[in-house]
Amino acid sequence: MTMLIETAVEGYRFVCGSCGHTWMADYDIQYVSDDVGATFGFYRLDGVPVPAPTAGDIPCTNCGAVGVAMIPEGRCEAPPRG
């Protein structure tokens, strides 16, 4: 049996390694625990189930490239290119 632990809204900032475009997205997250105590997060973006933003493969909202990096909350600068 799974049990809902918490629901949250978390904001993530992204920067594209191809075109330099930056943007922010707010994800609705449901954290659940299973029978053995493992915790999982289920993410939604605009009500649609999506992979976790930390899982990679996030396409750029400007050019569509998949070379996108996440900028940790509280950082002002983009991560170095390379």
Residue 75: pLDDT above 70? no
Q: Please tell me the predicted confidence (pLDDT) of residue 73.
A: 65
Lowest mean pLDDT among 27-36, 40-49, 69-78: 69-78
| 40-66: average pLDDT | 91
Give the pTM: 0.73
* Integer angstrom CA distances of residue 44 from 6, 10, 54, 55, 74: 14, 11, 13, 14, 22
